[in-house]
Amino acid sequence: MARRLSAEPRRTATRDDVLTAAREILDEEGIASLTMANVASRVGFTTMAVYRHVRNREDMLEGVLDLVLHEIADHSDPEASWLDGVESWMREVRSHLVSHSWAATMLGTSTTMTAAWTSTVNVLRAHLARSGLSTRSRTRAGVWVTRVTMGIVLQEVGAPIRSRGVTNDSFFDDIVAQTRQYVSQLP
């Protein structure tokens, strides 16, 4: 009687595997190193297997950016006071985008808002909605907080402060304090 060999099921890559590998490459080596071949090598599959999960490099970059941005939205505390929520949002955005500096630069390259960035901004809007501010003031606050946070993050990623007595953290703390004061005084 012949003994039947059982074949192990063949493992297939998932979109999450591809995007996780791409994020690792981006974090470790930067955007220039993100190629389909590098992602395939990291996942342990062929380049064609990568194309089963992403249309092209741009689709892969957008998918990885979405992963990072969803992490920001996932850290929101809906129980926090609105002002603490605004501060938390600023700090989460900074933390995630400085940790994934390639992501910060990508947010300024598109004329449309991705679904993930919209979700991230909606977290800020939810905090502001609890503020009691007028609609106009909530809009002003949202624009202020988003622009100040992103401006500081992009500057920090591109040209971090390297000075005695002033650090990126202390500078950001000052910006957060100024923002809290500004938005709390809006009508």
Residue whose C-alpha is closest to residue 15's, from 60, 82, 72, 57: 60
Q: What is the pLDDT along the chain (187 residues), one digit of tens a residue?
A: 555 555 555 567 789 999 999 999 999 999 999 999 999 999 988 899 899 999 999 999 999 999 998 888 777 787 889 999 999 999 999 999 999 989 888 876 666 677 788 889 999 999 999 999 999 999 999 999 999 999 999 989 888 887 777 888 999 999 999 999 999 999 9
Same topology, domains 11-54 and 57-184? Answer is no
Pair of tokens at residue 66: 């979405």
> In this structure, what are the phi and psi dihedrals at residue 166, rounded to the nearest 5 degrees?
-120, 130
Homologous superfamily, domain 11-54: Homeodomain-like (1.10.10.60)
Pick the CATH number of 57-184 from 3.40.50.2000, 3.20.20.70, 1.10.357.10, 1.10.3720.10: 1.10.357.10
d(CA 88, CA 76): 8
Find the largest Cα–Cα distance for the chain. 87
- Write out pLDDT tens, residues 56-65: 999 999 999 9
Domain-by-domain residue ranges, the chain?
Answer: 11-54, 57-184
